[in-house]
Amino acid sequence: MPLRPASASDLLIDGKQVAGSGSTFDIVNPATEEIVGQAADATAEDMSAAIAAARNAFDTTDWSRDHALRARFLRQLRDALLAHADEFREITVAEVGCPVFLTHGPQLEGPITDLGYFADLAETYEWTRDLGEAKPMGLKNRRELRAEAAGVVGAITPWNFPHQINFAKIGPALAAGCTVVLKPAPDTPWCAALVGKVIAEETDFPPGVINIVTSSDHALGAQLATDPRVDIVSFTGSTATGKKVMAAASESLKKVFLELGGKSAFIVLDDADLASACSMAAFAVVTHAGQGCAITTRLLVPRSKLDEATAITRDSLAGLAAGDPTDSGTICGPVISAAQRQRVESYIELARSEGGTIEIGGGRPAGRDRGFFVEPTLISGLDNTSRVAQEEVFGPVLVIIPHDGDDDAIRIANDSPYGLSGQVWGTDEDRINKVVNGVRTGTMAINGGIWYSADVPFGGYKQSGIGREMGVAGFEEYLETKAVARPA
């Protein structure tokens, strides 16, 4: 089947593709500002129908108890999506504006392949665990623990890595035996809606098990948080919105998973290879135009090497100009929208007003009159109390900050409301481990190590979120534990 729709992408509700009761809204290519298509603009009534379908599928079928069936359908979905990889690649670059090289990894093929990991978990997980015999109150009993699916999942996802985040919720939730209603971001509806097309036309998923509802109305996400038929809300997005989701979900005491913002530190110790470290920091912050919650956006370098580190980082950024995301050599594409570009530019102006120096960048690339591009930007002359060092910019903007030794670097890294990710570069293992142990963050890379993988839990400390996504820990977010005892 041709994957690209002629006009609007349908909703997926109760196993069927439906147009929805609303109208449509435009999808804009962030690299060209062209309208590339339309998506179905669902209403509250459509969302209610999707929740009802998910509730019915969970309550009245064997979906939650048939582990082998779920594994088979997840593999079926993986294989069907991979068969359309090139079509999805074109659509993803056009809708997200991500550099095409990323679609061979975390923007597309990686997350699709990861569905197989969760299929394996459904088959191999220890669903029942024998606790043996005990004599509570002198009475001999045999006890066991049973893991059971938690129920209906409302998944609310952002636009920056839509496939990775959509499948990081859909995969483990379905593997655990839950049913799902997915509400993707209005900026990237096709990436989700066309998965729904594949599910409806090329897989055997039972009706209602997975529902996909696109809409320009953010209130539909809030609807998932408040509807009592939904048992879990799994949200990825800004910390400010995450707080609202948590508050709304508290009315019905839903389980809540939150993966939120970050202002992660790239720590360079005084025994590190400075050139390699600073070049990597520059590469990291421009990847996908800095639109990643775990991207390191604070570069902490020894004070005695500040000038040298600034020069290296500036020169590295000069070779990483923002460019056409369809070009295989592009690392930094556009940001997602005009509003996001304005936000990034407002932070750069704020840095200037706070006394910062724009070492490179700070504007829009010459010769690119169309597209939401921002120049890779390095800011110096500010300390960690500045707003651009404390707040998430979500653009290709790096702040370089001096530190006075390992303890001071740890202090600066932790002086943040966030705790999502980080890096440390050095050669002395004891010092590296001291930093890793001292920084309060969910993931840490050592000398460029890559932690991203289906089996590695991802999440943060402090205001970076609650819970973990991916890995066994992420799978278990969608489970409840039942204790069972009988006379022995």
Rounded (5°) CA angle 426-473-82: 90
Is 60 exceeded by the pLDDT of residue 5?
Answer: no
Q: Which residues contact 397 (CB under 8 A, 6 or more apart)?
A: 285, 290, 297, 344, 347, 348, 361, 374, 377, 379, 388
Is 90 exceeded by the pLDDT of residue 1?
Answer: no
What average pLDDT does this structure show over 286-292?
A: 98
- Write down the pLDDT at residue 21: 86
- Write down the pLDDT at residue 427: 98
- Write down the pLDDT at residue 3: 65
DSSP secondary structure string for all residues of 141-164: EEEEEEEEE--EEEEE--SSSHHH
Is 80 exceeded by the pLDDT of residue 8?
Answer: no
pLDDT tens across 345-374, in order? Answer: 999 999 999 999 999 999 999 999 999 999
- Write down the pLDDT at residue 22: 84
pLDDT tens across 12-29, in order? Answer: 999 999 998 889 999 999
Three-state DSSP class for residue 438:
helix
Is 80 exceeded by the pLDDT of residue 4?
Answer: no
User: What phi and psi values does residue 323 have, to the nearest 5 degrees?
Assistant: -155, -175
- Write down the pLDDT at residue 6: 42
Domains and CATH numbers, the chain: 8-260+464-487 (3.40.605.10), 265-446 (3.40.309.10)
What average pLDDT does this structure show over 297-310?
A: 98
62, 214 Cβ separation under 8 angstroms: no
Task: Please name which of 414, 448, 455, 420 lies closest in space to residue 432, comparing C-alpha atoms.
Answer: 448
pLDDT tens across 379-390, in order? Answer: 999 999 999 999
What average pLDDT does this structure show over 88-115?
A: 97
Task: Please name which of 343, 73, 318 lies closest in space to residue 210, comparing C-alpha atoms.
Answer: 73
pLDDT tens across 163-222, in order? Answer: 999 999 999 999 999 999 999 999 999 999 999 999 999 999 999 999 999 999 999 999
pLDDT tens across 27-68, in order? Answer: 999 999 999 999 999 999 999 999 999 999 999 999 999 999
Total Cβ atoms within 10 A of residue 143? 16
As a whole number, the mean pLDDT across the chain is 96
Tokens of 466: 């609650």
Q: Which residues are catalytic?
A: 259
- Write down the pLDDT at residue 284: 98
